[in-house]
């Protein structure tokens, strides 16, 4: 590969034998280099394949607008999170997370921190990613001497969640998080209770909702066991009323009918939640 442009000592644009453009990160990889020089392969730490001109322009523009040490910090955060989560992120996470880190540290300097309305949901539904994000805050504090709060950790955690997914999955994740919170709010409002978020029943219910949302558009005709449904409905009339509210919400949200089996499972899960609370 050959140097096309030096962005700073640690970042260069390069082209390979097929004239494909790439952005390369590596400590000192751009030092004393000029266009046309051969790239030292031993210094390469990360290669971004710039598949489209738009992607290339966005990344180059972003690199030019943020301090070079922010990119190095972002790479360290991502490397550590990949190890903690035992995964490999999409390269697009670099653009989103780098932009967010730059934005967050700028807001901190201006004493203009913001809250994440989904903080609770992120902590409860994505505990591994949130823990990895808390570790990222420690890196930021170490390298930038800035102590950010849990709201910032939740923003970073969502980058870690999204970095494991494609565009459609990202939209589904955001949608699922909102739907889960709405369903929990319906239950708490109906029974005038606070749910025990640490209980086994609570976590099982969250898992059930997630699986339900994954298959909501893949279900065939209703093949429910009406007898069992009527038995559960008769045993838990108040829970049935709550489930009807959830059914109305989900059907309006997804324009898809909820069959008796799903109603029955929701009622059984809610019954466990209520018993746990009492």
The answer to which of 205-209, 215-219, 229-233 has the lowest mean pLDDT is 215-219
Are 155 and 104 in contact, with CB atoms under 8 Å apart? yes
Taking the CA atoms of residue 154, residue 155, residue 157 and residue 161 in that order, the dihedral angle to the nearest 10 degrees is 130
Q: Which CATH architecture has domain 68-164?
A: Orthogonal Bundle (1.10)
User: 176 — phi, psi (to 5°)?
Assistant: -60, -40
| Range ranked top by mean pLDDT from 14-23, 136-145, 250-259 | 136-145
Query: What pLDDT, on the 0 to 100 scale, is given for residue 258?
Result: 84
| Long-range Cβ pairs for the range 114-117 (8 Å, 24+) | 114/151, 115/151, 116/151, 116/152, 116/154, 116/155
The mean of the pLDDT values for the chain is 83
pLDDT band at 90 (very low <50, low <70, confident <90, very high): confident
Query: What pLDDT, on the 0 to 100 scale, is given for residue 217?
Result: 55
The answer to which of 2-11, 138-147, 163-172 has the lowest mean pLDDT is 163-172
Instruction: Specify the pTM.
Output: 0.59
Does 104 score more than 60 pLDDT?
A: yes
Where are the CATH 2.30.24.10 domain residues in the chain? Answer: 2-62
Does 223 score more than 60 pLDDT?
A: no
CA separation for the pair 8, 68 (Å, rounded): 8
Q: Which CATH architecture has domain 169-274?
A: Orthogonal Bundle (1.10)
CA separation for the pair 174, 192 (Å, rounded): 27
Kindly state the tokens that stand for 269.
């899960």
Cβ neighbors of 125 (< 8 A, separation 6 or more) are 177, 180, 206
Percent of the chain's residues with pLDDT above 90: 31
β 11-15/21-25 pair status: antiparallel
CA separation for the pair 100, 118 (Å, rounded): 16
Are 68 and 62 in contact, with CB atoms under 8 Å apart? no
Does 12 score more than 60 pLDDT?
A: yes
Domain 2-62 has CATH 2.30.24.10: yes
Q: How many helices (H) and strands (E) does the chain have?
A: 11, 4
Instruction: Tell me the mean pLDDT in the region 29-33.
Output: 87
Does 32 score more than 80 pLDDT?
A: yes
Where are the CATH 1.10.1790.10 domain residues in the chain? Answer: 68-164, 169-274
Query: What pLDDT, on the 0 to 100 scale, is given for residue 235?
Result: 93
């Amino acid at each position: 590969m050959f140097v096309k442009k030096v962005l700073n000592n640690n970042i260069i644009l390069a082209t390979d034998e097929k004239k494909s453009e790439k952005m390369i990160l590596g400590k000192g990889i751009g030092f004393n280099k000029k266009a046309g020089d051969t790239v030292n392969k031993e210094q390469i730490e990360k290669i971004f394949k710039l598949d489209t001109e738009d992607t290339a322009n966005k990344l180059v523009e972003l690199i030019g607008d943020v301090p070079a040490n922010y990119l190095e910090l972002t790479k360290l955060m991502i490397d550590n999170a990949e190890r903690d989560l035992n995964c490999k992120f999409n390269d697009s996470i670099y653009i989103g997370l780098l932009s967010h880190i730059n934005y967050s540290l700028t807001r901190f300097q201006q004493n203009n921190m913001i809250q994440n309305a989904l903080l609770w949901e992120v902590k409860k539904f994505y505990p591994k990613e949130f823990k990895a994000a808390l570790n990222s805050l420690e890196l930021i504090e170490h390298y930038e001497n800035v102590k950010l709060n849990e709201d910032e950790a939740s923003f970073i955690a969502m980058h870690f969640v999204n970095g494991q997914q494609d565009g459609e999955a990202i939209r589904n994740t955001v949608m699922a998080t909102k739907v889960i919170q709405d369903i929990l709010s319906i239950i708490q409002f109906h029974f005038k209770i606070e749910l025990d978020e640490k209980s086994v029943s609570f976590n099982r219910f969250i898992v059930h909702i997630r699986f339900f949302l994954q298959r909501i558009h893949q279900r065939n005709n209703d093949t429910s066991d009406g007898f069992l449904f009527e038995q559960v409905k008769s045993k838990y009339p108040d829970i049935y009323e709550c489930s009807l509210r959830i059914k109305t919400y989900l059907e309006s949200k997804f324009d898809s009918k909820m069959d008796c089996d799903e109603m029955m499972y929701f009622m059984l899960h809610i019954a466990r939640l209520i018993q746990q609370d009492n």
